[in-house]
């Protein structure tokens, strides 16, 4: 792992060392060339027994026939016995037994007196078996023996020697020995050049291999050149057969990896899909069973790579779905004893872990361990990966002994896998284990574990690179969690020293890459220094805030050019740490000085932190923005890509970097002048834009902004009368939220509502004198409906209508004070209402299943969507009452939404929606899959990052069935992201839900809400009245808050004039008519004068 960086495949399937994660097509191709289970003249009797699964009888028959062939001197096809032995023992006893039998068989070859070339055929079959089953060191040793043998064969060509040398290089590459493999490939090329007549396929393979070693060594230009040579050789071969297509597809798969490495994720995705299509074509058209088998295997690896590209784009759910699809293919393609199957299960466990799906991750990890055990295979790397997953799950579930046990097991297995070395998985495990131990008070053990990677890197002279900086940062974090702040400062100072470039340094790594680690060390030092001060004074707090300005500069610079999803997640966490620490220091400073100007600064830092979280995801490939020309987008992406390419090269030229950054600055300046809205969205400095909040608050309105700072809650309350900042202390939210929302007895819900009232409202209730209230939540409070809070317990669920804050206040919500604009007036749109309501009925799902089942793009989750008959009927009714436009069932598609939703007073979206806290940019609306349209069939999700490129201009957008994924993780992130995207796309407000609400009750509340809007009520008052009406008429369990309280309004609250578009047209008609009459009269008068 580590999971956060690459949650899927930490190494090539079947390879030994876990150093590179994107090698599947390349290694699959090389191993297929190195040797496969060949088509041979079979033996009817043995074939029949194997088909009947009578493996022990087949083994007896193999022994019998082998002895008979030796006695009769039939030596022409002895290699078939290697395949038979492998097949029979694999299926009966597993890889370990099969290996022993093949070892024994190969061991007797020198005593048979075979001709050298016949012996080579036998060795080749054995090597194919070792490769396939992951016995890579055994494969290397046997390949080395074949190379020595072929050199001694009289008449052996230079091409033959070169081919076997190349195979030896493949072995070393599979073992993770890149530099060794590269030098062997160079020797193979020398043999090919001496031959002068080397087959195009062999030469192409070799350049492909050289490209791979260059790529692994981050020599990206060199890799690109070699891959180009490999493809050119095949093109010049002038062959269009399937064998040539297989080879060229594998090279292009590697080029896709190269594109990914250089930041071209969209290009990599396109290439990889074409590669998969090429493999599909071979599978459909070839009659060569061996070629088809290789294409199927390579296609499997290519699909796994496709999942990783989606993961790097941040599309974690999509990546997981693709892995699941591939896992299903693997189960059908590979034999039950194939060791890849349990490895795939463990890889799927890593994927589910990245999605925080604990139960699924645990299931697949245990399945992988059981699978390896059942075939008798010891694979310490993958077994270590599985226990690493199980350790993380146990830790999240607060199973401390279980987590510790799995961490210990994983460490022992990685030691067995790495020998004297220490791979990235091993290093990552030790760092995670050390932090886990520190969190739970294992002081001595935590420090000892954290020192292991640091000592290893130092003793192996790995310099001042990133691995050393990670280890120093880990030691500092461990000491911080243990409360040893003096030691934390020691390690932070060590890190600052290591990350400070020397005056003679000229590499991008030293001057730029280390900055991110430097920011971590500064944060740790400031935090530890703060905690060591028993009573920090004004001078100390001011000084520490000045120190943090360097961190602000570092992160702001990195934010603009970071494109990799894993790096963006790291930046997110760093911004979060920075924001929390700055707020803590500023609040302390305010408490000591009582300077009212500090309140504005505190709010500015908090609001900029909110926007930083949104902005970070704009760098992911695929983002487009409304009214921004495509040429500008391409120029922007090209510059960011060039900057990242320079930073990826260990010895990058700093002159090139500074020149490029100057170009980048000029580009942003041009955006500021030509596209100010886009510039403000992405790049403008936000900390100076929040001034004099009370003057910007609408009349008769109270603004309440909650701030969560290092576990404590603060609240900022403001109105035209003034402002105040109040410390609410530590407030436990989660258990009471659960009690309010979860179906159960009134006593539990009522008690939670009263406790939260006392802790979140009562401390400042005297400052709230208006009926209208705007809530700006933070953290877990995004999951709370404030109108439920009660100053006293209620005895029935209907009592909420009279006793709760719902009875007193019109509530609306927002996510940022930056959007506070008292002068904003609602836009007068000519069209009234447009409604989209795919019912997701059984007919729609059945037709989709029949159209796309068993394909890569099949969306199994679509079949699990709950039908929405009440939303469907509501949309029909609204369309008639408001003379609106309705798009129902298949017509409620993403395509028609994108084309026709714009410029309406209300956009009613009666479909499933998800607010994704794990990946906010992947919050989405789910539309119908229209089987008559290929676009709607494959792409029915409208994601947040796509909404920025939509025109959704409206007074109100209604998302009735919004469900929050992982509500306890990064709470509010998905909702903020979705609301921000709709605001940018032109929606003045949105009505959405904080949790999944019953569809029937939601439809009833919305129908009443629309009636109130028609009466001219403001949106917040209309929603309040609709809920009170619902509580008067609902019965039984439908009175529970889960059924009604989660619907909230975010944004502008102004009323909607539904009659403006119909009534205002007549004055214009009259004016135009009068103008025409005047013109006619003037014309007639002029003609009379003439």
pLDDT digits (tens, 9 = 90+) for 689-703: 677 888 889 889 999
Residue 498 token pair: 């290591």
**Residue 69 CB: number of other CB atoms within 10 A?**
17
3-state DSSP assignment of residue 437: helix
pLDDT of residue 134: 76
134 torsion bin: left (phi>0), alpha (psi -120 to 50), beta (else): left
pLDDT of residue 562: 80
Residue 1035, CA atoms < 13 Å, CB-side half-sphere? 0
What is the mean pLDDT of the segment spanning 753-781?
95
Question: pLDDT over 70 for what percent of the chain?
Answer: 88
List, for residues 412-447, the tens digit of each pLDDT value.
Answer: 999 987 777 787 788 999 999 999 999 999 999 999
pLDDT of residue 1064: 47
What is the rounded CA–CA span in Å between residue 321 and residue 863?
14
Confidence of residue 651 (pLDDT cuts 50, 70, 90): low
What is the rounded CA–CA span in Å between residue 679 and residue 327?
44
CB 302 within 8 A of CB 294: no
Ranking 329-333, 724-728, 1073-1077 by mean pLDDT, the lowest is 1073-1077
Higher pLDDT, 23 or 966: 966
What is the mean pLDDT of the segment spanning 753-780?
95
**Which residues make beta-bridge pairs with 813?**
775, 1050
pLDDT of residue 172: 87
Confidence of residue 1016 (pLDDT cuts 50, 70, 90): very high
Residue whose tokens read 């195009």: 200
Confidence of residue 918 (pLDDT cuts 50, 70, 90): confident
| Residues whose CB is less than 8 angstroms from the CB of residue 363 and which lie 6 or more positions away in sequence, other chains included | 349
What is the rounded CA–CA span in Å between residue 783 and residue 726?
21
Q: Which of 874, 838, 867, 836 is nearest to 950 (CA)?
A: 836
Cα–Cα distances (Å) from 989 to 516, 734, 978, 1013, 1018, in that order, read 37, 28, 11, 14, 12
List, for residues 48-107, the tens digit of each pLDDT value.
Answer: 888 888 888 888 888 888 888 877 777 667 778 888 888 888 888 888 888 899 999 888
- What is the reported pTM? 0.80
pLDDT of residue 650: 56
Q: Which of 945, 1066, 224 is nearest to 614 (CA)?
A: 945
List, for residues 486-513, the tens digit of each pLDDT value.
Answer: 999 999 999 999 888 665 554 444 556 6
CB 774 within 8 A of CB 702: yes
- Range among 109-113, 180-184, 328-332, 462-466 with highest mean pLDDT value: 180-184
**Residue 866 CB: number of other CB atoms within 10 A?**
10
The answer on pLDDT for 1079 being more than 80 is no
Confidence of residue 1018 (pLDDT cuts 50, 70, 90): very high
Q: Where are the alpha helices (DSSP H) in 617-687?
A: 630-648, 654-674, 676-682
Ranking 27-31, 301-305, 819-823, 1013-1017 by mean pLDDT, the lowest is 27-31
List, for residues 5-55, the tens digit of each pLDDT value.
Answer: 222 222 222 222 323 333 333 443 444 434 443 334 447 788 888 888 888
Higher pLDDT, 823 or 21: 823
How would you label 921-957 residue by residue, b for 16+ Cβ within 10 Å and e otherwise?
bbbbbbbbbbbeeeebbebbbbbbbbbbbbebbbbbb
The answer on pLDDT for 876 being more than 90 is yes
What is the mean pLDDT of the segment spanning 1043-1060?
89
CB 10 within 8 A of CB 22: no
Please tell me whether the peptide bond between 2 and the residue prior to it is cis, using omega within 30 degrees of 0. Answer: yes
CB 31 within 8 A of CB 130: no
pLDDT of residue 1063: 45
Long-range contacts of 366-371 (CB under 8 A, 24+ apart): 366/390, 367/342, 368/342, 368/343, 368/344, 369/342, 370/342, 371/341, 371/342, 371/345
pLDDT of residue 871: 92
The answer on pLDDT for 396 being more than 80 is yes
pLDDT of residue 967: 59
pLDDT of residue 548: 96
Start-to-end Cα distance in the chain: 93
The answer on pLDDT for 865 being more than 80 is yes
CB 893 within 8 A of CB 930: yes
Higher pLDDT, 360 or 66: 360
Q: Where are the alpha helices (DSSP H) in 882-998?
A: 894-900, 934-938, 944-947, 973-985
pLDDT of residue 666: 93
The answer on pLDDT for 1062 being more than 80 is no
What residue segments make up the domains of the chain, in order of their start? 693-813, 831-1058, 1059-1090
pLDDT, mean over the chain: 84
Confidence of residue 260 (pLDDT cuts 50, 70, 90): confident
Q: Which of 408, 426, 407 is nearest to 418 (CA)?
A: 426
263 torsion bin: left (phi>0), alpha (psi -120 to 50), beta (else): left
What is the mean pLDDT of the segment spanning 734-756?
89
What is the mean pLDDT of the segment spanning 149-157?
89
Higher pLDDT, 144 or 640: 144
The answer on pLDDT for 543 being more than 80 is yes
Helix axes 380-396, 400-418, angle to 10 degrees: 160
* Domain at 831-1058: CATH architecture: 3-Layer(aba) Sandwich (3.40)
CB 303 within 8 A of CB 276: yes
Q: Which of 544, 569, 693 is nearest to 619 (CA)?
A: 569
The answer on pLDDT for 561 being more than 60 is yes
pLDDT of residue 28: 37
pLDDT of residue 834: 95
The answer on pLDDT for 297 being more than 90 is no
What is the rounded CA–CA span in Å between residue 455 and residue 1021?
64
The answer on pLDDT for 146 being more than 50 is yes
**Residue 704 CB: number of other CB atoms within 10 A?**
21
């Amino acid at each position: 792992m580590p999971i956060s960086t690459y949650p899927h495949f930490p190494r090539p399937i079947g390879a030994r060392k876990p150093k590179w994660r994107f090698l599947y097509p390349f290694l699959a191709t090389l191993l297929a060339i190195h040797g496969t289970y060949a088509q041979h003249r079979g033996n009817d009797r043995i074939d029949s027994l194997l088909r009947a699964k009578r493996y022990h009888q087949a083994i007896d028959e193999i022994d019998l026939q082998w002895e008979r062939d030796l006695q009769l001197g039939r030596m022409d096809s002895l290699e078939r016995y290697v395949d038979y032995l492998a097949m029979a023992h694999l299926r009966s006893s597993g890889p370990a037994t099969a290996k022993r039998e093949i070892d024994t068989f190969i061991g007797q070859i020198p005593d048979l007196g075979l001709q050298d070339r016949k012996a080579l055929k036998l060795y080749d079959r054995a090597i194919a078996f070792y490769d396939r089953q992951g016995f890579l060191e055994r494969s290397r040793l046997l390949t080395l023996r074949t190379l020595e043998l072929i050199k001694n064969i009289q008449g052996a060509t230079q091409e033959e020697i070169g081919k076997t040398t190349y195979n030896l290089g493949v072995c070393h590459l599979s073992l993770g020995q890149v530099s060794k493999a590269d030098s062997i490939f160079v020797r193979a090329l020398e043999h090919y050049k001496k031959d002068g007549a080397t087959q195009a396929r062999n030469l192409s393979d070799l350049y492909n291999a050289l490209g791979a070693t260059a790529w692994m060594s981050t020599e990206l230009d060199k890799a690109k050149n070699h891959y180009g040579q490999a493809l050119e050789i095949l093109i010049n071969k002038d062959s269009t057969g399937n064998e040539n297509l297989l080879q060229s597809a594998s090279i292009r798969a590697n080029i896709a990896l190269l594109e990914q490495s250089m930041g071209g994720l969209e290009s990599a995705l396109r290439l990889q899909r074409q590669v998969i299509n090429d493999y599909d074509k071979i599978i459909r058209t070839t009659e060569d069973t061996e070629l088809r088998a290789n294409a199927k295997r390579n296609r499997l690896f290519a699909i796994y790579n496709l999942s990783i590209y989606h993961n790097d784009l941040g599309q974690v759910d999509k990546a997981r779905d693709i892995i699941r699809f591939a896992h299903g293919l693997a189960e059908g393609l590979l034999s039950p004893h194939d060791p890849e199957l349990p490895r795939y299960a463990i890889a799927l466990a890593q994927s589910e872990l990245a999605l925080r799906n604990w139960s699924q991750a645990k299931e697949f990890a245990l399945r992988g361990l059981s699978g390896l055990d059942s075939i008798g295979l010891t694979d310490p790397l993958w077994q270590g990966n599985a226990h690493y997953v199980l350790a993380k799950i146990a830790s999240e579930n607060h199973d401390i002994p279980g987590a510790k046990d799995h961490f210990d097991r994983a460490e022992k297995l990685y030691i067995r896998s790495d020998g004297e070395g220490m791979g990235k998985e091993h290093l990552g495990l030790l760092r995670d284990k050390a932090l886990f131990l520190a969190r739970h008070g294992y002081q001595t053990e935590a420090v000892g574990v954290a020192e292991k990677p640091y000592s290893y890197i130092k003793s192996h002279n790995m310099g001042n690179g990133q691995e050393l900086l990670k280890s120093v940062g880990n030691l500092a974090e461990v000491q911080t969690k243990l409360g040893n702040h003096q030691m934390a400062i020691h390690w932070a100072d060590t890190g600052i020293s290591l990350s400070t470039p020397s005056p003679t340094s000229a590499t991008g790594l030293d001057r730029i890459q280390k900055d991110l680690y430097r920011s971590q060390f500064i944060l740790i030092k400031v935090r530890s220094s703060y905690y060591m001060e028993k009573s920090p004074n004004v001078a100390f707090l001011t000084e520490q805030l000045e120190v943090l300005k360097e961190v602000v500069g570092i992160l702001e610079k990195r934010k603009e050019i970071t494109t990799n999803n894993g790096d963006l997640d790291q930046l997110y966490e760093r911004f979060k740490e920075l924001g929390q620490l700055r707020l803590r220091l500023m609040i302390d400073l305010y408490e000591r000085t009582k300077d009212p100007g500090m309140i504005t600064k505190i709010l500015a830092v908090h609001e900029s932190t909110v926007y930083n979280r949104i902005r970070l995801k704009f760098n992911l490939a695929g983002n487009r923005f409304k009214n921004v020309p495509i040429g500008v987008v391409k120029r922007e992406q090209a510059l960011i890509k060039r900057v990242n390419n320079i930073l990826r090269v260990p010895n990058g030229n700093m002159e090139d970097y500074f020149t490029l950054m100057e170009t980048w600055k000029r580009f942003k300046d041009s955006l500021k002048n030509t596209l100010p809205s886009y510039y403000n969205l992405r790049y403008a400095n936000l900390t100076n834009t929040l001034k004099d909040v009370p003057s910007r608050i609408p009349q008769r309105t109270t603004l309440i902004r909650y701030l969560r700072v290092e576990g404590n809650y603060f609240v900022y309350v403001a109105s035209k009368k003034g402002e105040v900042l109040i410390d609410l202390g530590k407030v436990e939210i989660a258990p009471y939220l659960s009690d309010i929302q979860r179906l159960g007895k009134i006593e539990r819900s009522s008690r939670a509502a009263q406790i939260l009232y006392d802790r979140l409202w009562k401390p400042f209730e005297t400052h709230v004198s208006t009926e209208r209230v705007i809530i700006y939540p933070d953290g877990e409070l995004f999951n709370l409906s404030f109108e439920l809070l009660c100053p006293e317990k209620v005895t029935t669920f209907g009592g909420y209508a009279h006793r709760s804050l719902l009875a007193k206040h019109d509530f609306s919500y927002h996510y940022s004070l930056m959007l506070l604009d008292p002068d904003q007036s609602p836009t007068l749109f000519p069209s009234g209402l447009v409604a989209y309501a795919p019912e997701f009925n059984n007919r729609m799902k059945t037709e989709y299943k029949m159209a796309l089942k068993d394909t890569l793009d099949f969306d199994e989750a679509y079949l699990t969507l709950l039908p929405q008959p009440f939303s469907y009927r509501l949309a029909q009714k609204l369309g008639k009452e408001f003379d609106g436009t309705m798009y129902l069932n298949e017509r409620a598609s993403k395509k028609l939404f994108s084309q026709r939703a714009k410029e309406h007073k209300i956009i009613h979206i009666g479909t499933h929606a998800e607010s994704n806290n794990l990946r906010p940019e992947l919050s989405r609306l789910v539309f119908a899959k229209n089987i008559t349209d290929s676009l709607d069939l494959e792409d029915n999700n409208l994601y947040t990052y796509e909404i920025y490129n939509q025109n959704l201009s409206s007074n109100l957008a209604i998302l009735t069935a919004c469900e929050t994924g992982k509500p306890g993780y990064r709470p509010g992130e998905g909702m903020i992201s979705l609301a921000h995207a709709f605001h940018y796309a032109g929606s003045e407000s949105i009505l959405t839900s904080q949790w999944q609400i019953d569809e029937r009750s939601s439809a009833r509340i919305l129908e009443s809400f629309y009636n109130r809007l028609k009466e001219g009520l403001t949106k917040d008052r209309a929603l309040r009245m609709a809920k009170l009406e619902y509580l008067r008429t609902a019965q039984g369990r439908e009175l529970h808050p889960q059924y009604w309280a989660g619907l909230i309004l975010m944004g502008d609250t102004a009323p909607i004039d539904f009659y403006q578009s119909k009534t205002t047209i007549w004055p214009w008609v009259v004016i135009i008519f009068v103008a025409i009459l005047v013109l006619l009269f003037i014309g007639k008068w002029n003609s009379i004068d003439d």
